Structure 1
Amino acid sequence: MEKKDLRIVFFGTPDFAVESLRRLVEGGYNIVGVVTMPDKPAGRGHHMYQSDVKRYALAQGLPLLQPVKLKDEAFVEALRSLQADLQIVIAFRMLPEVVWAMPRLGTFNLHASLLPKYRGAAPINWAVMNGDTETGVTTFFLKHEIDTGDIIEQRKIPIARTDNVEIVHDKLMHLGAQMVIDTVDSIIDGTVKTTPQAQMLTAGQQPTPAPKIFKDTCRIDWNRTAEALYNHVRGLSPYPAAWTEIVDATGKAHSTKVFATGQPQAKPEGELPGTVTSDGRHLWVACADGRLEITQLQVAGKKRMPADAFLRGFKIEDAHCD
Structure 2
Amino acid sequence: MNEHSASGKAGRRKIPSVWIVRSCVSAAMLALIFHFVPFETVWAAARQFSPGLWLAALGLFVAGHAAAAFKWRMLIGSGISYRSAFRAHLAGLAANLALPGVAGGDVVRAGLVFGQANDKGKLAMGSIADRLLDTLGLALIALVGATYAWGPRLYEATQLRWALVALALVVATGFAAAPFLDRSMARRAASGKVARILGSMIHAAAELSRSPGRLLACLAISMAVQCLFVGINIAFAQAAHVEAPVSAWFFAWTTAKIIAIAPISLGGLGVREASMAGLLKPFGADPGQVIAVGLIWQSVLYASGAIGFLVQVRRPEREKVAMELN
TM (norm. structure 2) is 0.23
Indicate the structure (1 or 2) with the bigger Cα radius of gyration: 1
Q: Which has the higher contact order (CA 8 A, sep 6+)?
A: 2
Looking at secondary structure, tell me which structure has more helix per residue.
2
Looking at secondary structure, tell me which structure has more strand per residue.
1
TM (norm. structure 1) is 0.24
